[in-house]
A and B are shown apart, each in its own frame.
Chain A
Amino acid sequence: MAKLVAVIASTHHPFYYRASTTIGKDRPAFADEWVRKVEAFRETLTKARPDLLVMVGSDHFHQLWLDNMPQFLVGKAPFYDANFENEHREFGLPRMFMKGQEDLSAYVLRQGLDAGFDLAFSNEMRIDHSITCPIITLRPQNDLPIVPIYTNIFAPPLPRPYRFVQLGRLIRQLIESWPADKRVAVIGTGHLSLELGGPRQFGPHGPDPEFDQKAIKWIATGDIERCLDEVTLDSLHAPGNATHGFMDFMLMMGVAGEGQKANYVDTYDLFHTMEAYFTWYPTGIVK
């Protein structure tokens, strides 16, 4: 059976690539510390020696559109091109190319459907920055095949938070029952409090630092129960109009498991949003 060797939950900040690669007088003051934190976080994945990555993210109206919008979608393709022209324009993100782990995609789809999750699929998917950002931060050599899984945190009506947790639990079960001698890491990215296109955007901190502190505690301690008690589709409007991306963190808490304390926690308070990085080692701490 496959081994789940690391579970990683992270914010995805599309400005990291540009901030970390800019040199000279245009390099932002916060870049060096940010790079240091990201490199330390990267080490938590490297140490787990994964053979492949299951990547959870959310399309930002790049390929998926309102005439045909899936709630949860699994990519099943041998390859994935990545990043879009408007992401290059706004964030300077480069075009990328990734291999797919198509047999695990097929397994997740078949077994997921049979377990009661009506997952949509795509045989030709162009990946956006919700998945390329963590490749850039955590695996910049981009040498591992992936299974991309998209969630809808973006275009209401959205699934409720508990469905994200349930999907996370299912993803874990499916990886652990996959009959392959492979080391699998799951990496999912979302947001803490975030406002985009609204009056609270691009402030000196995230729009709701109090929510951020609570959210970090829920994630770091694996407190799914309290998180589900407090977080609803309605409540997520209050911390910022793009905070529904927090549900991808809830999905990752589902993968990690109830009460599972993260083995690695780090945060970085940036303008606009709080960065947050978490790693769990389900099969024990990796030395």
Chain B
Amino acid sequence: MSKYLLNKFLFTVDRDADLLERYRADPAEFVNYWEKTYANRILNCLESERSTWQKLDDKEREALVNRDYVALFGLGAHPFLTLTLFIGMFERDYPEPLSFQLEYAARLKHFNLPYPDIET
């Protein structure tokens, strides 16, 4: 399991409006594309100097394809990254300010302290 790679997905998509819209439009196709294109890219290195070993496991891939922020929280993905990306994708579909954020909190209600460890 790699919390780092989950976070890398959230980080690279949250900061890029084009990637965010592609993830919103077709998550299965996009996660597949991202894993091939971005998973091994070292962000401050040349394309030819990619890593060779980064790979999502089945649970992580499923959580991303299902855009399941509850599962991502359980897997120890960084909660700030998950929150900002999902606000960016879905807040627009909710009529009232904060209604997406409050639904998000309610769906996580079954988590008690200590929360899943986010250390990478």
Contact with A along B1-33 (1 / 0, CB 8 A): 000100110010011010000000000000000
Sampled A-B contacts (7; CB under 8 Å): A67-B44, A90-B84, A198-B79, A198-B105, A201-B104, A201-B105, A271-B98
Residues of B in contact (CB 8 Å), total: 37
Specify which of B44, B80, B88, B113 lies most central, judged by the most chain A CB atoms within 10 Å of its CB. Answer: B80
Contact with B along A47-83 (1 / 0, CB 8 A): 0000000000000111001111000000000000000
User: Would you list which residues of chain B between 79 and 94 have a CB under 8 Å from chain A?
Assistant: 79-84, 87-88
User: Does B119 sit within 8 A of A, measured CB to CB?
Assistant: yes
A183-B109 Cα distance, complex, nearest whole Å: 49
Q: Are B118 and A242 in contact (CB under 8 A)?
A: no
Please give, as numbers and ranges, the residues of chain B lying within 8 Å of A196 by CB-CB distance.
79-80, 83
Q: Are B105 and A202 in contact (CB under 8 A)?
A: yes
Please give, as numbers and ranges, the residues of chain A lying within 8 Å of B83 by CB-CB distance.
196-197, 201
Q: Are A199 and B108 in contact (CB under 8 A)?
A: yes
Rounded to whole Å, the gap between the CB of A189 and the closest CB of chain B is 16
A241-B111 Cα distance, complex, nearest whole Å: 12
Please give, as numbers and ranges, the residues of chain A lying within 8 Å of B118 by CB-CB distance.
156
Please provide the 3 A-B residue pairs with the shortest distance between their CB atoms, ordered closest to farther. A197-B79, A197-B83, A199-B108
Q: Are B15 and A62 in contact (CB under 8 A)?
A: yes
What is the interface of chain B, defined by CB distance below 8 A to chain A?
4, 7-8, 11, 14-15, 17, 42-44, 69, 73, 78-84, 87-88, 98, 101-102, 104-106, 108-111, 113-115, 118-120
Please give, as numbers and ranges, the residues of chain A lying within 8 Å of B88 by CB-CB distance.
86, 89-90
Question: CB < 8 Å: which of A62, A67, A86, A202 contacts B98?
Answer: A202
Main secondary structure of the interface of B (DSSP, over half): helix
Please give, as numbers and ranges, the residues of chain B lying within 8 Å of A67 by CB-CB distance.
42-44
Q: Are A155 and B84 in contact (CB under 8 A)?
A: no
Rounded to whole Å, the gap between the CB of A120 and the closest CB of chain B is 14
Residue of B nearest to A234 (CB): B114
Please give, as numbers and ranges, the residues of chain B lying within 8 Å of A65 by CB-CB distance.
11, 43
Please give, as numbers and ranges, the residues of chain A lying within 8 Å of B11 by CB-CB distance.
61, 65-66
User: Does A217 sit within 8 A of B, measured CB to CB?
Assistant: no
Q: Are B84 and A86 in contact (CB under 8 A)?
A: yes
A89-B21 Cα distance, complex, nearest whole Å: 13
Rounded to whole Å, the gap between the CB of B105 and the closest CB of chain A is 5
A62-B12 Cα distance, complex, nearest whole Å: 10
Question: CB < 8 Å: which of A66, A68, A199, A238 contacts B105?
Answer: A199
Please give, as numbers and ranges, the residues of chain B lying within 8 Å of A85 by CB-CB distance.
15, 17
A65-B17 Cα distance, complex, nearest whole Å: 18
Q: Are B113 and A237 in contact (CB under 8 A)?
A: yes
